[in-house]
Structure 1
Amino acid sequence: MASNAAMITITGVDGSRWTVAGQGRGQEGVELATSPSGLYDAPVSTIWNQTAFQIGSSFGGYRINKRDVVFAVNIFQTPGLAWESVDSAWRKAWAYDRDSTMTITTDYGTRALALRLSEQPDFKPEKDPHLKRWGKVVMTCIAGNPWWVESDVTSSWTSTIDTIGGAIQSGSLTVANPTDQPMWLKWVCSAPGKWTLPDFSWIAGDRDAARMVTLPLAARGQDLTVDTDPMEEMIVAADKSQFWALMNGVSFLYPVPPYTPSTSMPVKVTGAPTGASIMAVQQRNWSRPWGLQ
């Protein structure tokens, strides 16, 4: 089956939308020029260590860096808008301290990359663009988060009995990670209730292969958002209380590995009314704007 051209759009900090490649390209007066760089694999630096008399070096890991993206656009006048007006509108779509969004859609899905300017746009016209009604502008950008992000996927479970009197009800949710990157789950838990959540190591035979983490009892009005990513605040309560302090140092340890198929994961709740609910939010982060499925 023949593939369609990728459609690339830019959503500006001002809410404007520009189709720069693919179907409808240039309809706002801006189209992507040739040879963009930094859009493919996420940038990585490998680490190699060497002792004083060692022959060669030993692999010490790798670091995922910010993404530097450089691309040029052709800007031209459109019916009803002079070249200068289009050029000005395009510039107003970008900022140094706020993110614009580049979105790439192929036959297999849509992924987005948050970008902001890292230096001023470069413009070197050979002739006055007001006369040519065309100009080429080079955009130099940074993506602090280097991942191409697909829309989150969610799964949920709702209790069917009242557990306020001390009963415990078990349930399950389906989790999958089709991406090439580890996935840190987010959990959204209703309150009141005392929830027990999975934190599997995903290693067969490992002592943490079926690890579970029990949260403290949340009172009414303390609906919880639990982020297992160690770089984020672990627990945020709806009432803004420091609920995380009640964990006594217990934390979540494991992401869902890349290419994990659909898996049923157990949850438990007690101290909650009928209808208590929990949702697993599954982020989709990719190294590339397409492929790797």
Structure 2
Amino acid sequence: METQIVYMGIPGSGGPDGKRALWHLHGPNGGAQGVELQPQLAGLMHVPFNQLITEGPYQVGGTHERVDYRKREISFKVSVGLGEVDTAFRYRMVEQRWWASWSAKEDGYFGVFTRTHGWRFIKVRLLEEPKDAFVLDPTAFGNNFADYNMNAVAVDPYWRKRIEIDQWANDGEGDGGIPSTPWDQLEELIEDIAEGLFPGISDLIPGWHIGEGNIAVPNRGDQPVWPKFLVSGPGRAWIQDGPGGRMVPLPLLSPSDGEVLVDTDPTARTLTATKDPVDPLFYRIARNSQFLDFFLHDITDQGLPVWRRFNDRFTTPWPAKSTLRIKVRHSQGGGKVVALVPQKFDKAYS
């Protein structure tokens, strides 16, 4: 089965409900929508990079400093007006839909399929406008055909597969299956006394039993990854920092914090709570009518946002082509930690 290449347009290009238009550019259904990819294209394979090397007087050779990975530029040529495009009207509609699927401000997706490596996708947008010179009217004399040389850019240069997800839950009593000890019984007694004196306090103070477990998630990609985690509240959680690394303690979560997204990538915001006063990430995912209530609410009553309570960091990625066995802890019975592991690839296939 030959290689398949598809393009999924920007949101709304496939209909008013935000769907993306799908274009089969190469493969068994290549040109089915009236646009076909020509054989020559560049930029699908290796991630562009620069070697930073310093040289000095009297030095033999140079000193390697670092590798800088750059944006990916993909150059290709498409033919518009194939298949059933046998009238000027059909040609105009196909060309209109094609350009409506591209933008300089929003991303579409290139997808490549091979039998050996499955589907891989990458976000792209127009790098520049096509500069082809062509006849005044592509529909003249019944031609209904035009070629365009296009250049797309991917600011994230890696190809990706579907994120792998798994979770661990602290079972029942907050001990994660750890055998009970006399100290556990003493803690339970103190907790019962506190609940008797101050009814409802157990809803505000997380349990004292710390459950521990492992989340096993594959990284099938050929690149090291920084996993993301969804941590439930209330309670305190700990997440392992890389293979054999230390346990990084997260801030103590109250019921008002809700669920927290933990991004271990040092270049990203580490903690984002569903109920943070201003939370662009979650509100892009799920907009709701309560946004203004959160935005205008007096946040002093809610305490500091969760990200301001965190003064630690993650420093070690997880290796490529391996199964990640991530140690996690949660202090609350029923507390959950969900691991989301990106699958990143240097090339479209191989």
Give TM-score, length-normalised by structure 2: 0.75
Q: Secondary structure at the match of 1:268?
A: strand
Structure 1 residue runs without a partner (length 5+): 203-208
Rate the CA distance shift 1:158–1:165 in 2: closer, same or farther, 3 A. closer
Identity of aligned residues (%): 25
Are 1:101 and 2:101 counterparts? Answer: no
Aligned counterpart for 1:8 among listed residues 5, 8, 13: 5
Aligned counterpart for 2:95 among listed residues 87, 97, 100: 87
Alignment of 1:162-241 (within 5 A): 162-163=173-174, 164-200=206-242, 202=243, 209-222=244-257, 223-240=259-276
Check the 8 A contact 2:139/2:145 in 1, yes or no: yes
Are 1:30 and 2:35 counterparts? Answer: yes
Query: Per residue, is there more strand in 1 or in 2?
Result: 1
Aligned counterparts of 1:91 and 1:227: Cα–Cα separation in 2: 35
Aligned counterparts of 1:128 and 1:71: Cα–Cα separation in 2: 23
- The match for 2:310 is 247
What amino acid maps onto 1:136 in structure 2?
A: D
Are 1:135 and 2:143 counterparts? Answer: no
What amino acid maps onto 2:248 in structure 1?
A: V
Q: Secondary structure at the match of 2:58?
A: coil
Residues 18-59 of structure 1 show CA distances to partners (whole Å, capped at 9, x for unaligned) of 000112110100000121111111111111110122122122
What amino acid maps onto 2:173 in structure 1?
A: D
Give TM-score, length-normalised by structure 1: 0.89
Aligned counterpart for 1:113 among listed residues 122, 135, 147: 122
Aligned counterparts of 2:137 and 2:111: Cα–Cα separation in 1: 32
| Deviates most, 224-233 or 213-222 | 213-222
Check the 8 A contact 2:330/2:336 in 1, yes or no: no
Check the 8 A contact 2:164/2:218 in 1, yes or no: no
Structure 2 residue runs without a partner (length 5+): 14-19, 175-205, 278-304
Q: Secondary structure at the match of 2:40?
A: coil
Aligned counterparts of 1:38 and 1:157: Cα–Cα separation in 2: 40
Aligned counterparts of 1:162 and 1:215: Cα–Cα separation in 2: 20
Q: Secondary structure at the match of 1:35?
A: strand
Aligned counterparts of 1:104 and 1:65: Cα–Cα separation in 2: 21
- The match for 1:205 is none
Are 1:125 and 2:121 counterparts? Answer: no
| Deviates most, 178-187 or 49-58 | 49-58
Residues 63-88 of structure 1 show CA distances to partners (whole Å, capped at 9, x for unaligned) of 10001111110111535752222112
Aligned counterpart for 2:341 among listed residues 259, 282, 289: 282
Aligned counterparts of 2:113 and 2:265: Cα–Cα separation in 1: 27
What amino acid maps onto 1:229 in structure 2?
A: D
Check the 8 A contact 1:221/1:238 in 2, yes or no: no
Aligned counterpart for 2:67 among listed residues 62, 65, 71: 62
Aligned counterparts of 1:34 and 1:135: Cα–Cα separation in 2: 16
Q: Using the TM superposition, give the Cα deviation of residue 128 of structure 1 relative to its aligned residue in structure 2, in angstroms.
A: 4.1
Q: Using the TM superposition, give the Cα deviation of residue 221 of structure 1 relative to its aligned residue in structure 2, in angstroms.
A: 3.8
Q: Using the TM superposition, give the Cα deviation of residue 232 of structure 1 relative to its aligned residue in structure 2, in angstroms.
A: 0.8
Q: Which has the larger Rg?
A: 2
Aligned counterparts of 1:165 and 1:59: Cα–Cα separation in 2: 51
Q: Secondary structure at the match of 1:82?
A: helix
Are 1:156 and 2:167 counterparts? Answer: yes
Query: Per residue, is there more helix in 1 or in 2?
Result: 2
Aligned counterparts of 1:218 and 1:61: Cα–Cα separation in 2: 39
What amino acid maps onto 2:41 in structure 1?
A: P
Aligned counterparts of 1:264 and 1:152: Cα–Cα separation in 2: 16
- The match for 1:265 is 326
Check the 8 A contact 2:236/2:330 in 1, yes or no: yes
Count of aligned residue pairs for this structure pair: 277
Rate the CA distance shift 1:126–1:34 in 2: closer, same or farther, 3 A. farther
Structure 1: 4+ residue segments shifted above 6 A:
none
